[in-house]
Amino acid sequence: MAADSSEAESSEAGLSKGTADSAADSTAAAPTPTVDHSGAESPSPASDAEPEPASAGAEPAALGTADEPATESSGYPPALIATAVALPVVLVVAVLVAAVLALRAPTEREPLVLGPVPAPAADGPACAALLPALPVDLGDYSKSTLVEPAPPATRAWQRKDGGDAIVLRCGLERPLEFNRASPLQIVNGVQWFEVRDAAAKASTWFAVDRATYIALTVPDGSGPTPLQGVSDTITANIPAQPIDPGPLPN
């Protein structure tokens, strides 16, 4: 019985020693905690652990919290951006309005220059009666202002946009082309003789049955109204008389 008791004690001692050795090994394997100045314990990193390298393509974290993401800003106030966008539109509208007003505005014509021609009867009674009675408008043509000094007994009319003028001259000499074989045309009681100027694209009509010769130069495309209006004025203010053509050319 004594032997059995000794073996049991030896077995218990061995078990106690094994348990103590196992606890010692576990204590040696556990990391030693470090204590910061605030008193909180933090485990020390293992001596053989290496830090994980940062990714090459990783971008720095944006400033701010996760609930408030960073926003890009152009650096210009919204009012300035709105003005920059609206200004070109305003300029285009202003140009269009100015163009429309310019088209509607009346065109200011330049005074017309008329060169002198021989007019021995310009100061006679026939021209003195005719000129004040001439109409202000002849169809699409209105009376023009003449550059002074203007030739005596002259009048001119132009369209609103200018262009070639209708010109009347009173008190002229008998035209050289007017002879006994010249064809005449009667318009509203007045006998007219036409001299065509193809280069100028105009015709000059001479009233040949009055006390003096009256010339009316009309550009092509003027229509019959100018000649008719002047004929009415001549008939109403200057009496008709027999024609006096020149001799036939040799």
Q: How far apart are CA 27 and CA 200, in angstroms?
A: 126
pLDDT at 14: 42
More confident call, 161 vs 50? 161
Q: Is the pLDDT of residue 45 over 90?
A: no
Q: Is the pLDDT of residue 240 over 80?
A: yes
pTM of the model: 0.59
pLDDT at 250: 79
pLDDT at 235: 98
pLDDT at 132: 97
- Output the six-digit token pair for 4: 């059995």
Q: Is the pLDDT of residue 9 over 80?
A: no
Polymer length in residues for the chain: 250
Q: Is the pLDDT of residue 21 over 60?
A: no
pLDDT at 29: 43
pLDDT at 85: 60
Could you please report the per-residue DSSP string of 155-209? EEEEETTEEEEEEEEEEEPPPTT-BTT---EEETTEEEEEEEETTTTEEEEEE-S
- What are the tens digits of pLDDT across the range 74-127? 566 766 566 656 556 555 556 665 655 545 544 567 899 999 999 999 999 999
Three-state secondary-structure class, residue 43: strand
Q: Is the dihedral of CA 117, 248, 183, 213 positive or negative?
A: positive
Q: Is the pLDDT of residue 212 over 70?
A: yes
Q: Taking all residues of the chain, what is their mean pLDDT, rounded to a whole number? A: 76
In the chain the domains, ranked by start, together with CATH numbers, are: 125-237 (3.40.1000)
